[in-house]
Amino acid sequence: TAATDFSVFQDLESEVRSYCRKFPIVFHRAKGAELHGEDGRVFIDFFCGAGTLNYGHNNDFIKRRLTEYLAADGIVHGLDMHTVAKREFLNTFAEVVLRPRDLDYKIQFCGPTGTDAVEAALKLARKATGRTGVVAFTGAYHGMSRGSLAVTGSRRARRAGGIGPSDVTFVPYEDSPQGTFDSVGYLERLLADPSSGFEIPAAVIVEPMQMEGGIYPASPDWLRSLRALTERHGILLIFDEIQAGCGRTGTFFCFEHAGVVPDMVTVSKSIGGYGLPLSLTLFRRDLDVWEPGEHTGTFRGNQLAFVAATAALDLWRQTKFHTDLAVASRRLDRFRTELLDPAIVTRGRGMALGIDLAGAGGPERADLVQRHAFEHGLIVELCGRHDEVIKVLPPLTIDIARLDRGLDVLRDALHSTRN
Ligand code: PMP
């Protein structure tokens, strides 16, 4: 029947397609925290486009703004022109995000993806400092283009992309499957020692909480010491907030927990509010050394995404949004104490939870948990070096009853896969 027909995907779509292989279903509708299959099955979505749907699917508040805009023949493609939608987004972003945090950044609209924001940040950091080196961290995920892949810590993806030796130096993230490491102290040693051969890099790029790497939140102390080190040596500090940002950890930016201010920030995924493509690179005003036209792109600054993003920020400023979010976050946090298996390690912050099965069945069990969850109506993805960590990312707007139902399925899946 049409309801289970995958043949066209197998026939025509490249083998590179990824997540969809794990979910043998064709979806066609979604609302809030739920995805509907064309065969009538309904799933709770704890994947959320890897952090793209913080406001849930087809959020009514945002949808109303979009439909009004379309009904009034608002511009859909503006190719960098000054538009009303862009102006409203910039004004709202300044009012809701920048000013309350005393952030004096300029904003560059990048191509539609997070990768584009990372590319722009790396290019600008190199241009502004006149240096080429970049420091990145093991376990990092910053994108799949050659520039962003060069700072992504996956041997498999780098080999597939033909990335050879480059001007990127990898050092261990604060915490990793190998344990904790004083990488800031290590970098300090290298920089202070003229015999090291280690040149001062243009930038350090880091996720304040590694998401694809396995849900590793950096401690405030570590981020502060990284800030102090980069300041001492005139190295630009880039925070990649593409997946952990836009409220996922409770604050708008994940780095707010540490009380430090980076020189550049990359933002994408949920900034588009409705799953619409938008990506931004924010940087200190004095770093805006671009000449007009030095970094362009046809699909940067999608107008519908501006409308949705402005509406999403209007939601973000509502008190009720935050009281509901606090309740949901507490519920997710409590789930960690309910697992009752000391071999299972959990990490997370706000509405991001990683359930690490490295010492409790490993990737094989994580795969079984994911399958069991799918069969019982829950979509959940895996992350970590070997896909050994279950990544729980419900929409920030999920109601407690659905959150509970999803967590019940997850608990059962963990239970039934114990050996
Ligand atoms: N940085 C981080 C932290 C990400 O999680 C991702 C996407 N998973 C990217 C960059 C790349 O974003 P995109 O897939 O939109 O290119």
Please state the ipTM of this predicted complex: 0.99
Distance (Å, whole) CA 201 – CA 131 = 6
pLDDT given at position 172: 98
> Is residue 7 predicted with pLDDT exceeding 60?
yes
Distance (Å, whole) CA 151 – CA 136 = 6
> Is residue 90 predicted with pLDDT exceeding 90?
yes
Digit-coded pLDDT (tens) for 338-394: 998 999 999 999 999 999 999 999 999 999 999 999 999 999 999 999 999 999 999
Nearest CA to ligand 1 atom 5: 243
> Is residue 1 predicted with pLDDT exceeding 50?
no
User: How many CA atoms within 13 Å lie on the side-chain side of 356?
Assistant: 18
What single-letter amino acid sits at 166?
Answer: S
Q: How far is the CA of 266 from the centre of ligand 1 (A)?
A: 10
pTM flag (> 0.80): yes
Q: How far is the CA of 215 from the centre of ligand 1 (A)?
A: 14
Q: Which of 33, 125, 61 is nearest to 377 (CA)?
A: 33
For residue 337, CA distances in Å to 2, 241, 312, 315, 341 come to 43, 28, 32, 31, 9
State the closest ligand 1 atom to the C-alpha of 144, by its place in the atom list counted from 1. 16
β-bridge partners, 27: 37
Distance (Å, whole) CA 83 – CA 109 = 13
Structure tokens at 105: 């950044």
Rg (alpha carbons) of the chain, rounded to whole number? 21
Digit-coded pLDDT (tens) for 194-208: 999 999 999 999 999
State the closest ligand 1 atom to the C-alpha of 115, by its place in the atom list counted from 1. 16
Per DSSP (E only), the strands in 248-334 are 264-267, 280-284
Helix (H, G, I), strand (E, B) or coil at 391: strand
Ligand 1: list residues with CB < 6 Å: 50, 113-115, 118, 141-143, 207, 211-212, 240, 242-243, 268
pLDDT given at position 184: 97
Q: How far is the CA of 342 from the centre of ligand 1 (A)?
A: 32
Mutational pocket test of ligand 1: of 211, 268, 299, the residue with most ligand atoms within 8 Å of the beta carbon: 268
Nearest CA to ligand 1 atom 1: 142
User: How many CA atoms within 13 Å lie on the side-chain side of 296?
Assistant: 8
β-bridge partners, 240: 266
* Contact call for residues 247 and 269 (beta carbons, < 8 A): no
Digit-coded pLDDT (tens) for 136-184: 999 999 999 999 999 999 999 999 999 988 899 999 999 999 999 999 9
Mean pLDDT, rounded, of the chain: 96
Distance (Å, whole) CA 237 – CA 93 = 22
pLDDT given at position 259: 96
Q: How far is the CA of 371 from the centre of ligand 1 (A)?
A: 24
State the closest ligand 1 atom to the C-alpha of 268, by its place in the atom list counted from 1. 15
Q: How far is the CA of 4 from the centre of ligand 1 (A)?
A: 30
Q: How confident is the model at residue 230 (pLDDT cuts 50, 70, 90)?
A: very high
State the closest ligand 1 atom to the C-alpha of 143, by its place in the atom list counted from 1. 11
Q: Which secondary structure element, helix H or strand E, spans residue 207, and what is its range? A: none
Q: How far is the CA of 213 from the centre of ligand 1 (A)?
A: 12
Q: How far is the CA of 223 from the centre of ligand 1 (A)?
A: 20
